[in-house]
């Protein structure tokens, strides 16, 4: 097959013509509505000059001057409102930007510029920021916001913003399952992978979970790629649809190398003379495809996955991909595969000929993976299950070097280590575990563990009052062994001295006795003896011994 066009598969479509048939299940559409009223931020002379281009749709100008202490407003001869403010808080997205001047005290309301110019929606529709430093500095600013500095940039940006009037749609790129999110439990911080990697500031912490603003999200997919549990997943396309389509295309085209690239790189990629065994996939965002997608292809017909990008080194999306590659390399090394199975190509400085060189058959023709029989298993939208199925398929044909393989610190697989001398079986770790990896002993004081469920979020380590827990990232090749319930620590129950009901453990009792030994309420033997009673018997004993109870105000040591 020499015609490169026939060797290119697209995962991209026009959202407005989405039928749900090309990539599988339909996804919800997010709608923006803009009347075109612009907010221009910058020095008055430059901002007013730019503002004239928006006069037809309505425009407001604001200059930020930290030297003043109050908001000033004036109207130009053309009727344009010009504000001079000491500071400006700008938030929102296309059709819904708020611009407020924070008040000096909590008792006063912030001064709202949109309300002041009587906008019916109460918001600005688009923002042209001519400040030296952008007021919205995120790597991917929201739709409708543009920062420009040079005259050429300003003119181009004005043209782009002028077109942003009317109704617009984009897909809701993500799905979120709060039930398996490992972000937080009991006010303890756990996983922050999605928050830290989001380049639009669309993801924020909300108690025990996170919240994603679909209007700010631009579908880079890094949150789904880095999520250890699969709580955050990509929906454009859904993981199972993408994997099925890619595996089918590889088999149909007798290809063994996958090349993922965005629409912006299509011409550069296709102008190269690629081998017939290389199949190019055009995707919305390469950052939306991580270890589950790559390993599923490597367990099937592929021996290489090549990612073409133009991200800067500090881009969290690039760092997320590098982290995922490190995980995959570590896992495959445990099967004796030391090849570069997932390769990143930065387009900065690369031309089509160099891309072809990187993808030359000499670099992968002797791959161990080319000798394997492609796996045929049903794909899932469950990220961890997909990864384990792919690794099971690989380990069935390749002998693992050891029963387990050590993984990097960020890996979402591993076990926990418990110091049994310190552990009191208080079960704080069990109550905070979001993945049901830690279990209690039900009828007996015990801490049990299912390694296949552990996502290494660290919540159990933080929750342990005795600092008895530590994490060990690793992967167990035997899936049956990984799913077994193992006992990490177990003790005989301690029975109440009076009613003989089991209510605690000896280690817990000893810990509490040591901590309360210096307290004035536990100086006599009767009080210490009560620690060995269950709650009901303890209260009963207190009032039988001294019907007046304990006067907590009589001691000078309080």
User: In which residue ranges of the chain is CATH 3.40.50 found?
Assistant: 4-10+239-397
For residue 142, what pLDDT is reported?
Answer: 97
Considering the chain, tell me which residue range(s) the CATH 3.30.70.3270 domain(s) occupy.
405-490
Residues whose CB falls within 8 Å of the CB of residue 73, separated by 6 or more in sequence, listed in order: 81, 82, 83, 84, 116
Q: Read off the tokens for 155.
A: 């003119």
Rounded to whole angstroms, the Cα distance separating 472 from 461 reads 11
Sheet of strand 446-450: strand arrangement: 438-440, 446-450, 485-490
| Residue ranges of the chain assigned to CATH 3.30.70.20 | 173-234
Per the DSSP assignment, residues forming a β-bridge with 232 are 176
Contact 158, 53 (CB under 8 A): yes
What is the reported pLDDT for 26?
Answer: 56
Contact 507, 466 (CB under 8 A): no
The answer to whether 82 and 61 have CB atoms below 8 angstroms apart is yes
Beta strand ranges found along 497-557 (DSSP E): 502-505
Q: At which residue do the structure tokens 């997932």 appear?
A: 342
Q: How confident is the chain (558 residues) per 10-residue block, as mean pLDDT?
A: 40 32 61 96 92 92 94 91 96 97 83 94 96 94 94 92 95 92 91 96 94 95 95 90 93 93 83 83 93 95 93 93 97 95 82 76 89 87 94 94 95 96 91 94 90 96 94 97 95 82 77 70 73 82 65 49
User: For the whole model, what pTM was predicted?
Assistant: 0.83
**What's the pLDDT at 444?**
84
d(CA 386, CA 239): 9
With contact defined as beta carbons under 8 Å apart, do 550 and 521 qualify? yes
Task: Looking at the structure, give the CATH architecture of the domain made up of residues 173-234.
Answer: 2-Layer Sandwich (3.30)
Pick the CATH number of 36-164 from 3.50.50, 1.20.120, 3.40.50, 1.25.40: 3.50.50
CATH for the 4-10+239-397 domain, from 2.40.320, 3.40.30, 3.40.50, 1.10.150? 3.40.50
Q: Contact at 8 Å (CB) between 184 and 209?
A: yes
Q: Where are the alpha helices (DSSP H) in 340-427?
A: 352-358, 383-397
CATH number of 405-490: 3.30.70.3270
> Is 234 within 8 Å of 50 (Cβ atoms)?
no
Distance between CA 198 and CA 303 in Å, rounded?
A: 30
Bridge partner residues of 84 (DSSP) = 63, 72
């Amino acid at each position: 097959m020499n015609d490169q066009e026939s060797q290119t598969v697209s995962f991209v479509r026009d959202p407005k013509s989405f039928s749900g048939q090309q990539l599988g299940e339909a996804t919800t559409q997010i709608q923006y509505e803009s009347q075109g009223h612009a907010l221009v931020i910058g020095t008055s002379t430059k901002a007013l000059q730019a503002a004239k281009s928006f006069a037809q749709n309505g425009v407001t100008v604001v200059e930020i001057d930290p030297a003043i202490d109050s908001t000033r407003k004036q109207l130009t001869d053309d009727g344009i409102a010009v504000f001079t403010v000491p500071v400006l808080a700008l938030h929102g997205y296309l059709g819904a930007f708020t611009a407020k001047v924070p008040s000096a005290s909590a008792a006063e309301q912030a001064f709202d510029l949109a309300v002041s110019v009587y906008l019916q929606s109460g918001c600005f529709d688009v923002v042209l920021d001519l400040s030296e430093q952008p007021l919205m500095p995120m790597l991917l600013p929201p739709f409708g916001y543009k920062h420009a500095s040079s005259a050429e940039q300003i003119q181009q940006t004005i043209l782009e913003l002028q077109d942003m009037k009317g109704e617009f749609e984009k897909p809701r790129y993500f799905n979120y399952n709060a039930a398996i999110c490992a972000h937080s439990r009991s006010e303890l911080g756990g996983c922050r992978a999605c928050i830290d990697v989001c380049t639009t500031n669309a993801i924020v912490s909300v108690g025990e979970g996170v919240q994603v603003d679909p209007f700010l999200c631009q579908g880079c997919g890094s949150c789904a790629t880095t999520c250890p549990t699969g709580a955050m997943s990509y929906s454009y396309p859904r993981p199972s649809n993408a994997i099925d389509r890619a595996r089918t295309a590889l088999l149909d085209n007798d290809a063994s190398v996958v090349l993922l690239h965005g629409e912006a790189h299509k011409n550069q990629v296709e102008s190269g003379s690629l081998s017939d065994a290389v199949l190019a996939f055009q995707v919305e965002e390469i950052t939306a495809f991580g270890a589950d997608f790559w390993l599923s292809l490597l367990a099937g017909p592929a021996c290489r996955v090549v990612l073409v990008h133009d991200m800067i080194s500090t881009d969290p999306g690039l760092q997320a991909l590098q982290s995922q590659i490190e995980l995959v390399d570590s896992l495959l090394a445990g099967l004796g595969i030391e090849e570069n199975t997932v390769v990143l190509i930065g387009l900065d400085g690369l031309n089509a000929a160099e891309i072809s060189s990187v993808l030359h058959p000499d670099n992968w023709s002797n791959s161990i993976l080319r000798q394997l029989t492609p796996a045929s298993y049903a794909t899932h939208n469950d990220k961890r299950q997909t990864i384990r199925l792919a690794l099971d398929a690989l380990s069935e044909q390749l002998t693992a070097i050891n029963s387990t393989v050590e993984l990097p610190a960020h890996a979402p697989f591993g076990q926990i280590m418990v110091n049994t001398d310190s552990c009191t079986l208080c079960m704080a770790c069990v109550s905070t575990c979001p993945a049901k990896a830690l279990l209690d002993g039900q009828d007996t004081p015990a801490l049990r563990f299912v390694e296949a469920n552990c996502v290494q979020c660290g919540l159990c380590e933080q929750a342990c009052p005795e600092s008895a827990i530590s994490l060990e990232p690793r992967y167990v090749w035997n899936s049956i062994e990984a799913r077994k319930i193992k006992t990490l620590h177990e003790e005989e129950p301690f029975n109440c001295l009076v009613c003989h009901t089991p209510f605690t453990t000896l280690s817990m009792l000893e810990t509490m006795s040591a901590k309360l030994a210096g307290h004035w309420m536990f100086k006599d033997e009767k009080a210490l003896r009560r620690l060995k009673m269950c709650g009901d018997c303890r209260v009963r004993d207190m009032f039988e011994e001294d019907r007046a109870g304990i006067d907590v105000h009589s001691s000078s040591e309080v």
